[in-house]
Every structure is written in C-alpha cells, then in structure tokens.
Structure 1
Amino acid sequence: MSTAPVIETQRLVLRVPQAGDFDRYAELLADEEACRYIGGHQPRAAAWRKFLQMPGAWAVQGFAMFSVVEKSSGLWLGHVGPWRPEDWPGTEVGWSLHPDAWGKGYATEAAEAAIDWAFAQLGWDEVIHCIDPANAPSWRLAMRLGSRNRGPGRVPPPYEDATIDIWGQTRQEWSARRERGG
C-alpha cells in the first residue's frame, strides 16, 4: 500500500490504519456508549478481527475508512471515511471516534476531508450516512456536513434488523455548499 493516500487537515492526519492504532481501537470497541450504534461493544479478540476490515478493504477495494490521528500528539482518534460493503445501501462516508475525541470538532473536520477525497478520487456521485435515528450526535454531524435525512433504510446481514435512517447528499449539493464556504 505504498500509494495509500494521506490527507492532512489543520489538526488531523487521515491515513490507512496501521497495527499501532489497534490499542485505541480496542478501547473504542470496549466502550458500551461509544459502540451503542455500531454493532455493540466487543472484547479485544473480536475487536482485532473487526479492526482488520479497514486495512483489508483498502487492499481489496482501494478505499475504506481512514484512521484519524491528531497531528499535535500522534494520538489515534477514530475511523472516518468511505465505506461500501457488499449490498450496502449506497456510497457511505461513516465515522466512529474514541470517546475522548468527542465534542472537539474532529469528526466534522475529518468527514469533510474524507467526503472531498471520495468525490475527487473515487468519483462518487453521492455520499450517504447510515444512522440510527436515536443517534443524535451522528445525525447532528450529518446535518453539519449538509446531508439530509432521506428516510428509513436497511443494511445487509448480519445487521438487517438495525434501525437506520439514510442521510445523504449529491456531489453537486456538496460542491455548492463548499463553494459557499460551508
């Protein structure tokens, strides 16, 4: 993966996940509140298997969620970026952040960079976000990004019983918002 992208924002580095990110990822998946809407908390061994999904998707698909790292400290903050498993309802840019990264604007900063990248590098025509209707912080983030709630949706097994709304916007809507300075 020598050609793997690295994106820098004012405070963050977005890059392909590395083995050194795992301890913080395992902490994220051990936190019941942090995992409430992303499949539930998991023990370390299960977290390792789930962690490997992102570097695997990078290797096979050429894209996946980025590891988000704070520039000033080198601390892994979470995953943000493009995600499209088989039978997914669309081209998603998703997020999950470690609880100590919440409320600092990191998710917005990283998601904006990831959406820019997905439109420019992957050629996507739209982005969606699959969000549990009870997950107010995520739908507030989707709104900050300019996405609208398009209504109920479904994701494939093993999460087919999950309640989700599909939020999203087109490339044109994103571009117009960015031109306005949003």
Structure 2
Amino acid sequence: MRKLLTARLVLIPWQQRFAENLIQMSSDERVMRFVGSGLWSRDYAFQRHELALRQWEQRGFGMRAITERDDGAFLGLVSLGDDEASGLEAPVLEIGWWVEPHAWGRGIATEAAAAVRDEAFKRTGASSLTACFHRDNVQSKRIMAKLGMSFAGEVTDRYGKPAHMYALRRAKWMVATNANSSRP
C-alpha cells in the first residue's frame, strides 16, 4: 500500500486513524449536500470506514486520505472502487472525492483525483474510469472535465437518486498522457 505524492498532497491508503475524519465529514451538511444518502450516522460511517480498510486488504486499492504535504493536515478523501453497473467493458473503476470545507476552492479535489485517475490506469489495469454527480453539483462536473472525463449518461446512484455519469476510457487517457509528456 503505497502513498501517492502530488505537488501539494500526500494520498495515504485508508488507515484506522482516519475513522474520526470520515465520521466528521459524513455528518457535515456542506460535505454531504450532493451525496444521495444524506448525512451518515456515526455507526454507518464507521461501517464504511471498516469497509474501506477491508477493500485495501482484498483489492489493493480503495479510499485514500488526502493530506497536506507540508504539515500532514487531513483535507478529505479520494476513493477508487469497482463500478459493475456502468455498462462499460470491464474492468471499470469509479472515482469519487470529498474535501473538507476549509480546503474548498484550492484545487485539492482535482489534484488528488488526477493522481488516483492515473493510478487506476497505470497500476490497476482499468479499462475505464467513471464518476457520478448530482445535477446541481457543478463543482464535481468541472473536476470531471479537468480529469478528461465526458458525459456518459443518466444513471441512478446507489441510493436511488438520479445522477449524471461521466467516463474516461483508457485509450483517451493514454492519448492525453502521451500528448502531455511530449510537451517541452
């Protein structure tokens, strides 16, 4: 379980020490406003924390804590999980992110998600990457576009709410990656 480093962030595979961070974030109305489930109870958040720990053991990828590279402060989370309902050719992974409100507007979600997007294609062998957002969540839509994702359809999220799905196929990512790496 390796950490991912970006210019400003350290993305740490989910650990026991992040349980309280998840409990706090999932009970914050600002963070959960566009999550179809609404606010999570403490017990449910802890169940999801335990699930994140197991996913790392079983799959070797999953939820990561987003921390500040300079001081280690917790800024949020970015997740990578199986997406079996996308209708795209497997293996498909789904990416998601939550950022602490005090860190909004700094590009934290985009920076973290770009690192995990690259990990999904380089290390896990994903054929496609998906992400879903609720219509009013224009910030997530912008992040998805910055990641190279494009509209792939209307879906129902895991909580039964309507959402937009965006996707990025490996071939498109490879073209963009090669174009970026050949720039002077």
TM-score (norm 2): 0.87
Structure 1 runs, 4 residues or longer, greater than 4 Å off: none
In structure 2, the partner of 1:181 is: 180
When structure 1 is superposed on structure 2, of 105-114 and 76-85 the one drifting more is 76-85
- How much does 1:66 deviate? 1.4
1:114 matched residue in structure 2 = 116
Following superposition, the deviation at residue 20 of structure 1 comes to 1.9
What is the aligned partner in structure 1 of residue 107 from structure 2? 105
Q: Provide the TM-score with structure 1 as the length reference.
A: 0.87
Q: In the comparison of the two structures, how many residue pairs are matched?
A: 175
Separation in 1 of the partners of 2:79 and 2:49?
14
Contact kept? 1:81, 1:115, Cα under 8 Å: no
After superposition, the C-alpha distances for 1:68-90 in whole angstroms (9 at most, x for unaligned) are 111112111122131116x4424
CA contact (8 A) 1:25 1:98 kept: no
Alignment of 1:5-154 (within 5 A): 5-38=2-35, 39-84=37-82, 87-89=84-86, 90-154=92-156
Q: Shift of the alpha carbon at 1:154?
A: 2.9
Deviations, residues 41-92 of structure 1 (Å, cap 9, x unaligned): 123233222222211111122221211111112111122131116x442421
- Measure, in 1, the Cα distance between the counterparts of 2:118 and 2:144: 15
Distance 1:93 1:43 in 2: 23
1:162 maps onto 2:161 in alignment: yes
- Secondary structure, aligned partner of 2:173: helix
Q: In the TM superposition, what whole-angstrom CA distance separates every residue of 1:13-53 from its partner, at most 9, and x where no partner exists?
A: 11211222222222211111211222211232332222222
Which structure 2 residue ranges, 5 or more long, are not aligned?
87-91
- Whole-Å Cα distance in 1 between the matches of residues 138 and 161 of structure 2? 16
C-alpha root-mean-square deviation of aligned residues, in Å?
A: 1.8
Instruction: Give the partner amino acid of 2:56.
Output: W
What secondary structure sits across from 1:122 in the alignment?
coil
* 2:89 aligned residue: none
SS at the partner of 2:96? Answer: strand
Report % sequence identity.
28
1:91 partner SS: strand
* Secondary structure, counterpart of 1:169 in structure 2: strand
